[in-house]
Amino acid sequence: MTWPEVLASGAAGQGGCPRTTIRGAGYGDESRRAMRGYTGALFGFLAFATLCCLPVPVAFVVAYTAWSEGEDWAWIALVAALAGSVLIVGTAHRYARNQHPRITRRDLVKEENFSYGEETFVMWAPRSPKGSPRARLVRADVLEASLVQYSPEGSTGFTTYGNDHTPDEFTPLIRLRLRVHDAGDAGEAVDSAGFELTDDWRVPSVCLSAVTAGRLAVLVEPDGPRAHGKVTPLWPGSALLAGTRTCRVVDLEGRLSDATRRPDRLLRQMRISRSAGGIAMAGDTIGLRHLDAPTAARYTAVAERDRAFPEARAPVSEPGEESRWLVNSLPGERAAFGHVGRWSRRGGVLVRARFLEMRATRTFQGHGPVLDTVMRIQPADGTPQFDAARRLTVPMNYLAVLHRTREVVLLAHPNGGSYLVDWARTNLLAGTTAAGVIAPDGRELPLTGRPDVVWSLMNLLATHGVSNPAPVLDLRRRRMSALAGAVLEAVPEVA
């Protein structure tokens, strides 16, 4: 099956694949970098690049000396010096944007080939193996998951590969215990037949949420060393089955139907796509008018069946999520109510945004892949929302809960001209760590599953310039005493 979320292909591993590693500040310094201005980062890299390219300033001295002495070749040294200066400035600008990935109006999405709906989320993930034509495409439930290995080299810098593939060193190896279901060739609903197996698989970072959600699309080969044959997870298809990526279908009459988190229907559609050799999606939408007549008729039959017998949406996460909770083992910024500093004292505010699209690239960092993203930002000043495209390092612990939420917290510059992702606050809002409040009398007030309350408390702390680099607010501390009343008022008791 060739789904359009495919971006990179090729054998996993590093054999013969050239790479470039750029050392830089560790990802754990994100909060401190958030308080550091882009100008400061740019000048810092300018100074560093100038030292690394010392022949460039020397060339200026040589050019001046030759010109003073009337040498005809002085212009050659001057051209070389100017070319080197352009290279230094361009390199420093690129590195500064990587290390301080602010979002500005320059990042507005200029052209859109499709519209982003209110719930749309598009993910372009690495290609899965196609398997043999005789392999059966079925559903598998993840019963248990544990991290076996993830130890990339150059984790504090950016590593770029020369070929489009997912390298092993930046792909976590995860042990999965699966319950593989069986289904008829006609695409009947999952029945009780099937088998269990435990094995280790490389899971692309952008598809980690499928493991947490607990629903995978797998190929089962008819022959193999085991009685049930070889099992190969289809990770882009699993992201669809988990509900991480949304899926809509426009039929021949122009009617729109939503297949998101309807696993039986999605499996039928995947089987049709696989037998047809792949079906293109525009964003998260399949247009039947663009398909050949037999394939469109099969898709239409699936849609009509869903209208006649609507399939209830599957839960966001299957039961037993605690046995699949890899978040605590994965790298990334730890969840917290966040730091404040000059950004807050100068009038900066928090802004809520939402990811609309993530696209894999050939660049990786130890804490997560570098992705081309599109997000929808709602400015704090009430001006219309806008969509911005920006290349960002997205932490793996956030990617593991991407089926739950695509919301992100931004630090808005006091003048409203730029934004910066605050991953500590984003992870807390996403629920990668349980948030809570400890009342002055010692009562523990849990905030799990209450993102709007967490959001209001983040804003309360930022407004009053109070840092809390932890996921729990302890109102017994002296520095929190002045805000205790306002915090308790914002946290209604849960019956």
Strand order in the sheet with 472-474: 444-446, 436-438, 472-474
Mean pLDDT lowest for which of 31-35, 43-47, 86-90?
31-35
Please tell me the predicted confidence (pLDDT) of residue 288.
Answer: 94
How many angstroms separate the CA atoms of 178 and 220, rounded?
Answer: 12
**For 381-423, how does the pLDDT look when each residue is reduced to its tens digit (9 = 90+)?**
888 889 999 999 999 999 999 999 999 999 998 877 889 999 9
Please tell me the predicted confidence (pLDDT) of residue 126.
Answer: 81
Retrieve residue 493's tokens.
Answer: 């008791």
pTM of the model as a whole:
0.83
pLDDT category at 235 given cuts 50, 70, 90 is: very high
**For 311-330, how does the pLDDT look when each residue is reduced to its tens digit (9 = 90+)?**
999 999 999 999 999 999 99
How many angstroms separate the CA atoms of 250 and 268, rounded?
Answer: 16
Please tell me the predicted confidence (pLDDT) of residue 12.
Answer: 34
Please tell me the predicted confidence (pLDDT) of residue 345.
Answer: 76
Per DSSP, what are the bridge partners of residue 415? Answer: none
Residue 30 predicted with pLDDT over 50: no
How many angstroms separate the CA atoms of 24 and 283, rounded?
Answer: 34
Handedness of CA 182, 212, 165, 6 (dihedral sign): positive
Mean pLDDT computed over 255-278: 94
pLDDT category at 226 given cuts 50, 70, 90 is: low
Mean pLDDT lowest for which of 152-161, 345-354, 361-370?
152-161
Please tell me the predicted confidence (pLDDT) of residue 234.
Answer: 95
Q: Where are the domains of the chain?
A: 38-99, 122-324, 331-490
Q: Which residues contact 97 (CB under 8 A, 6 or more apart)?
A: none
Mean pLDDT computed over 284-289: 92
CA dihedral 34, 38, 39, 40 (to 10 degrees): 40
**For 6-24, how does the pLDDT look when each residue is reduced to its tens digit (9 = 90+)?**
222 223 333 445 566 554 4
Query: How many residues are given for the chain?
Result: 495
Range among 179-193, 222-236, 258-272 rated most confident: 258-272
Mean pLDDT of the chain: 83
Residue 44 predicted with pLDDT over 80: no
pLDDT category at 28 given cuts 50, 70, 90 is: very low
44-68: b or e for each residue (b if 16 or more CB lie within 10 Å)? bbbeebbeebeebeebbebbeebee
Retrieve residue 439's tokens.
Answer: 């009342």
Residue 5 predicted with pLDDT over 70: no
**For 160-179, how does the pLDDT look when each residue is reduced to its tens digit (9 = 90+)?**
887 766 788 899 999 999 99
Please tell me the predicted confidence (pLDDT) of residue 373.
Answer: 95
Give me the percent of the chain exceeding a pLDDT of 70: 84
